[in-house]
Amino acid sequence: MAEPSAPESKHKSSLNSSPWSGLMALGNSRHGHHGPGAQSASRAAAAPKPGPPAGLSGGLSQPAGWQSLLSFTILFLAWLAGFSSRLFAVIRFESIIHEFDPWFNYRSTHHLASHGFYEFLNWFDERAWYPLGRIVGGTVYPGLMITAGLIHWILNTLNITVHIRDVCVFLAPTFSGLTSISTFLLTRELWNQGAGLLAACFIAIVPGYISRSVAGSFDNEGIAIFALQFTYYLWVSAWGGYVFIINLIPLHVFVLLLMQRYSKRVYIAYSTFYIVGLILSMQIPFVGFQPIRTSEHMAAAGVFALLQAYAFLQYLRDRLTKQEFQTLFFLGVSLAAGAVFLSVIYLTYTGLWFCIKNINDERVFVALYAISAVYFAGVMVRLMLTLTPVVCMLSAIAFSNVFEHYLGDDMKRENPPVEDSSDEDDKRNPGNLYDKAGKVRKHVTEQEKTEEGLGPNIKSIVTMLMLMLLMMFAVHCTWVTSNAYSSPSVVLASYNHDGTRNILDDFREAYFWLRQNTDEHARVMSWWDYGYQIAGMANRTTLVDNNTWNNSHIALVGKAMSSNETAAYKIMRSLDVDYVLVIFGGVIGYSGDDINKFLWMVRIAEGEHPKDIREGDYFTQQGEFRVDKAGSPTLLNCLMYKMSYYRFGEMQLDFRTPPGFDRTRNAEIGNKDIKFKHLEEAFTSEHWLVRIYKVKAPDNRETLGHKPRVTNIFPKQKYLSKKPVLMESEPTVAFPSDALDWCLGSVIVTAEHTSG
């Protein structure tokens, strides 16, 4: 009987196999063998079996139809689980933007949706960085704003009335589902469909990704991970994104050159990717000419030049035989690069080992991705977000191989292996860039070896352990998401001993007071952490914000906070400050207040004004930073200390503690008699978390000492003539200087002409 062709063998399987065989067929239906034991299962699926009539082919009665339905169902459930697990903050609080940077992104998106894209690109924000202002259109990456604005426009076009804030709040949970799909596609291309489904489920609920994609976290990471994974999928599957992507793809091409896996497809793909990507990225105003001037992009340019040189050498190889020299050169570079990576990272991950063991072009890419992501995540903890996707992929590959090894035994015994004709295609085209990810060639002697099946007890134990591990992982992810990543920094919550919850809404209370009770053009001075929130919620002008582009301006604000009231008042008057806002957590024990951040204000101010501000002046002689009586006199009299603890010395929070006891620092404050000369308290929130002070305007003019009033404005003369004087004109009397303080105008003396 003739063997089935390769395409037919990919979609045939037995209807009489075990329940796991359906999911196992998902792993082998696209790419054949991907791990130990999967090749026999794939060939078993290719064996002809009695099936339904030909008229039902293509329906759900065929195994391929059920496999597609099962894959779609699992992906939909992964999307649903990822979306719903990110809604704890909305359910517990409300639909609100979180953190600090998302408020600027939301404000920019609102401006884009209200005024259009052209006005957004030319938007000058006069409410930021007073008196400098900020050009927004040319200083931001507009991808996040454009995505949310486009979704809002589409929904309104379809007569679905949705506020732009709700679009921003739910954008990250929505894109988490797309991230699951892109991770599934990438892992399926690298290994098999079963591993792809596991990877999609992992990344949907993994805390490393949820921490930056909960509802209300309207930041670039919400859509960046999807774009990153989808870019990698396009590169691995078809042709071939920012600093991380633009360096990882050239690294992939460079390693392919070292492994002598060069082909015309590599040359065409990377050349097209680099040239087109370079031109398109330079169209963004904020990027401009950075791709050809900054050091982050030099690797891509170097690999592009190296690829052109290599292609030229390949063209001349027939005429100039330098094969030995090229082999020695590339071998030396490959060994050096491998030694550097192996000296930094010890490869212990199971999924990474499987990728290296069954190597091909695509798995070289994911191995490099894993190694570089692990290293850079260790250097900078913020890059843990880029490590999360590859960890999910490698874990899914490891789980998939374990399941195939322990649960695919019956399939291999029931369905004897047959030869796969697609291996002949690999032998005819050994240099293809994108070989099928499952084509790991084996010798005939290895294929003919008999494998003994595992006992049912071992399979049951391993299966139960793996399922328990997966369930514990799901419970852990849900708990971490609920308790650690679903609390917006704008709204705080505390729990009583009986489990009831108290909502602390001081931030929005204070910002709403600013919005309703201050002039529209009032200028608010605060530390830069709260600039975006003040501009977004209070709609008032700020001096500094989270953009932190001007260090000298931030240092000036830090100097005002660190100086005494008189010196700070001069700075505030020079900056036209109307209100000063500080965050104080001594009443409720909030550790993120301005007193705990105060040393950074001092350090930044000292960097720009070393003669006026010195960090050592704010410590005790023992080198301690204390707020009690033993604290530094410079600290106890600075503006930040006085604004935080004003009237706090009169408050007794507990009968066990004295008045003025700071719960955050666990100390009784040292200066309880605080009075202001140039400031006055304007607002204090319910729990004293936000305190706002108004800067008093100076008097119209300083009081001047008056001289004694001169009543006789004419000086006395020794000799006065008794004869009448004939005046031909009207003279103007010149007042002496002594009379100028009293006289308000000029006096005109007129004499009548009299005849002799």
| 449 contact partners, CB below 8 Å, separation of at least 6 | none
Higher pLDDT, 634 or 497: 634
What distance in Å separates the CA atoms of residue 140 and residue 106, rounded to the nearest whole number?
A: 13
Half-sphere exposure of 377 (CA within 13 A, CB side): 16
Average pLDDT of span 372-378: 83
Q: Are 359 and 166 in contact (CB under 8 A)?
A: no
How are beta strands 579-583 and 690-695 bridged, if at all? antiparallel
CA distance 388 to 396: 12
Residue type, 140: V
**Tokens, residue 611:** 């003669």
Provide the strand spans (E) within 356-408: none
The answer to whether the beta carbons of residues 691 and 651 sit under 8 Å apart is no
- Distance (Å, whole) CA 355 – CA 361: 10
pLDDT reported for residue 429: 47
CA–CA distance, 563 with 569 (Å, rounded to integer): 9
In angstroms, the CA 187 to CA 197 distance is: 8
**Tokens found for residue 400:** 């998939």
Inter-CA distances, 543 with 494, 575, 577, 581, Å = 32, 8, 9, 11
Sequence-distant (≥ 6) Cβ neighbours of residue 405 within 8 angstroms: 35, 36, 37
Average of per-residue pLDDT across 267-291:
76
300/305 Cα distance (integer angstroms): 9
Which residue type is seen at 197?
A: L
The residue-averaged pLDDT of 54-69 equals: 61
Residues whose CB falls within 8 Å of the CB of residue 331, separated by 6 or more in sequence, listed in order: none
pLDDT at 48 over 50: no
- Which amino acid makes up residue 503? I
DSSP labels for 52-115? Answer: S-GGGTTSTTSHHHHHHHHHHHHHHHHHHHHHHTT-HHHHHT-S---SSHHHHHHHHHHHHHHH
Computed over its alpha carbons, how large is the radius of gyration of the chain? 38
Please name the residues in contact with 128: beta carbons below 8 A apart, sequence gap of 6 or more. 134, 531, 535, 541, 542, 545, 547
Please give the residue that has the higher pLDDT: either 258 or 720.
258
pLDDT value, residue 440: 41
Whether residue 210 contacts residue 483, with contact meaning beta carbons closer than 8 Å, is answered with no
What is the pLDDT at residue 151?
Answer: 95
- The values of phi and psi at residue 300, to 5°, are -65, -40
pTM score, whole prediction: 0.68
| Side chain identity, residue 738 | D
Q: What is residue 495's DSSP assignment?
A: E
- In angstroms, the first-to-last Cα distance of the chain is 158
Three-state DSSP class for residue 318? coil
pLDDT value, residue 434: 41
Q: How far apart are CA 467 and CA 439, in angstroms?
A: 29
Whether the predicted pLDDT of 732 surpasses 60: no
Strand pairing category for 523-525 and 579-583: parallel
Size of the chain in residues:
756
**What is the DSSP track for 673-722?**
----SSEEEEEE-TTS-EEEEEEPPPPSS---PPPPPP---SPP-S----
Three-state DSSP class for residue 452: coil
Between CA 111 and CA 121, with CA 117 as vertex, the angle to 5 degrees is 85
pLDDT digits (tens, 9 = 90+) for 197-252: 999 999 999 988 998 899 999 998 889 899 888 888 887 775 434 556 667 788 88
Mean pLDDT for 23-52 is 43
pLDDT, one tens digit per residue, over 329-366 is 566 567 656 654 554 344 335 566 666 666 777 777 77
What lies within 8 Å, CB to CB, of 199 at 6+ separation is: 183, 184, 186, 187, 392, 393, 395, 396, 397
Is a pLDDT exceeding 50 seen at residue 111?
A: yes
pLDDT beyond 90 at 708:
no
Please tell me whether residue 432 adopts helix, strand or coil conformation. coil
| Amino acid in position 469 | L
Q: Are 621 and 564 in contact (CB under 8 A)?
A: no
Determine which helix (DSSP H) or strand (DSSP E) holds 502, and give its type and residue range. Answer: strand 501-504
pLDDT tier at 419, thresholds 50, 70, 90: very low
502-695 placed in CATH 3.40.50.12610: yes
Give the closest residue to 201 by CA, choosing from 75, 68, 87, 85. 75
* pLDDT score recorded for residue 205: 92
List, for residues 176-198, the tens digit of each pLDDT value: 999 999 999 999 888 888 889 99
Domain ranges (residues) in the chain: 83-94+163-442, 502-695
